[in-house]
Amino acid sequence: MNDLLLNISTHKLFPNRVNLFFSPAVNDCSCGNKLQLYKTKTRGIATLSLGECNAHVTELYCQCCNNIYYPEDLKLTVPINSHFSFDIIVYVGTAQLINHRNDDEIQKSLQEKNISISLREISYLGKKFIVYLALAHHECQDNIKNYMKNNGGYILHLDGTCEGNSPHLFSFIDELSSIVLGNIKIPSENTKQIKPPLEAIKKVYGDPIAIVHDMSSAIINAVEAVFPEVKDFICHLHFLRDLGKDLFSVEYNCIRRYLKELKARSALRKMVRELKVYIDQDQNLKSCLSHCMKKDFFKKNSDSLAPPVAFYLLATWVLESKKKSHGYGFPFDRSHVDFCDSLQEAYPIMKNLKKEMPEGAPKLSLAKLSRTVNNVSLTHSLKLIKEKISIFDELRDAMRIVAPNNEEGLNDGGDVEIKMIETGVKKFRESEQIIQLAKTNIRFKKMVKQIDKYWDKLFADPIEIKIGTEVVMMQPQRTNNMLEQFFRKIKSGSRKKSGTSSLSKTLKSMLANTPLVKNLNIPEYVEIILDGKKDFAERFAEIDIASVRAALQHEDEVARKYPKGMVKIFRIADLPNKISMFDLKKNNLG
| Residue 255 CA from chain centroid, whole number | 29
- pLDDT reported for residue 1: 43
12: confidence class by pLDDT, cuts 50, 70, 90? low
The percentage of residues in the chain with a pLDDT greater than 90, rounded to a whole number, is 56
User: 554-589 burial, b for 16+ CB within 10 Å, e for fewer?
Assistant: ebeeeeeeeeeeeeeeeeeeeeeeeeeeeeeeeeee
Q: What is the pLDDT of residues 383-408, one digit of tens each?
A: 999 999 999 999 999 988 876 665 55
In terms of Cα–Cα distance, which of 40, 26, 34 is closest to 65? Answer: 34
In terms of Cα–Cα distance, which of 158, 157, 152, 140 is closest to 204? Answer: 140
Q: What is the pLDDT of residues 271-290, one digit of tens each?
A: 999 999 999 999 999 888 88
In terms of Cα–Cα distance, which of 401, 478, 414, 485 is closest to 178? Answer: 485
Q: What is the pLDDT of residues 572-583, one digit of tens each?
A: 888 888 777 776
Alpha-helical segments (H) within 320-375: 335-355, 367-373
The set of residues, in sequence order, having a beta carbon less than 8 Å from that of 369 and lying 6+ positions away, is 264, 267, 268, 343, 347, 350
- pLDDT reported for residue 167: 79
C-alpha angle with apex 467: 465 to 469, nearest 5 degrees? 110
| pLDDT surpasses 90 at 485 | no
In terms of Cα–Cα distance, which of 159, 220, 223 is closest to 481? Answer: 159
- pLDDT reported for residue 537: 95
Helix or strand run (H / E) with residue 544 = none
Per DSSP, 543 falls in state: S
When mean pLDDT is compared across 149-158, 338-347, 501-510, 552-561, the lowest value belongs to 501-510
Beta bridge partners of 100: none
Per DSSP, 122 falls in state: H
When mean pLDDT is compared across 63-72, 158-167, 200-209, the lowest value belongs to 158-167
371: confidence class by pLDDT, cuts 50, 70, 90? very high
| pLDDT surpasses 80 at 412 | no
- pLDDT reported for residue 426: 95
In terms of Cα–Cα distance, which of 314, 312, 307 is closest to 359? Answer: 307
Mean pLDDT of 15-38: 88
End-to-end CA separation in angstroms for the chain: 75
For the whole model, what pTM was predicted? 0.78
By the 8 A CB rule, do 92 and 126 touch?
A: yes
- pLDDT reported for residue 2: 45
Q: What is the pLDDT of residues 287-311, one digit of tens each?
A: 888 888 877 777 776 567 889 999 9
Mean pLDDT of 324-353: 91
- pLDDT reported for residue 410: 47
In terms of Cα–Cα distance, which of 359, 348, 367, 363 is closest to 275? Answer: 363
199: confidence class by pLDDT, cuts 50, 70, 90? very high
By the 8 A CB rule, do 61 and 67 touch?
A: yes
The set of residues, in sequence order, having a beta carbon less than 8 Å from that of 329 and lying 6+ positions away, is 241, 410
| pLDDT surpasses 50 at 589 | no
Give residue limits of the domains in the chain.
2-117, 141-235+480-530, 236-471
Phi, psi of 162 (to 5 degrees): -155, 170
| pLDDT surpasses 90 at 254 | yes
What three-state secondary structure class fits 455? helix
When mean pLDDT is compared across 135-149, 340-354, 556-570, the lowest value belongs to 556-570
Give whole-number Cα distances, 373 to 150, 260, 454, 522, in Å.
Answer: 63, 14, 41, 53
Highest mean pLDDT: which range of 166-180, 194-208, 317-331: 194-208
SS (HEC) of 172-216: EEECCCCCEEEEEEECCCCHHHHHHHHHHHHHHHCCCCEEEECCC
Mean pLDDT of 321-339: 87
Distance separating alpha carbons of residues 510 and 428, to the nearest angstrom: 44
- pLDDT reported for residue 402: 73
Mean pLDDT of 324-330: 80
In terms of Cα–Cα distance, which of 255, 258, 205 is closest to 230? Answer: 205
| Residue 350 CA from chain centroid, whole number | 42
- pLDDT reported for residue 215: 86
- pLDDT reported for residue 581: 79
By the 8 A CB rule, do 31 and 62 touch?
A: yes
| pLDDT surpasses 50 at 566 | yes
Mean pLDDT of 359-365: 91
More confident call, 327 vs 148: 148
Mean pLDDT of 175-194: 89
In terms of Cα–Cα distance, which of 239, 258, 256, 259 is closest to 247? Answer: 239
5: confidence class by pLDDT, cuts 50, 70, 90? very low
| pLDDT surpasses 60 at 413 | no
Distance separating alpha carbons of residues 487 and 507, to the nearest angstrom: 11
- pLDDT reported for residue 570: 79
| pLDDT surpasses 90 at 337 | yes
- pLDDT reported for residue 553: 84
Domain 141-235+480-530 CATH superfamily: Ribonuclease H-like superfamily/Ribonuclease H (3.30.420.10)
Per DSSP, 44 falls in state: E
More confident call, 49 vs 500: 49
376: confidence class by pLDDT, cuts 50, 70, 90? very high
By the 8 A CB rule, do 333 and 325 touch?
A: yes
Distance separating alpha carbons of residues 553 and 427, to the nearest angstrom: 57
- pLDDT reported for residue 296: 73
- pLDDT reported for residue 317: 93
- pLDDT reported for residue 17: 83
The burial of 300, by beta-carbon neighbours within 10 Å (0-12 exposed, 13-18 middle, 19 or more buried), is given as exposed
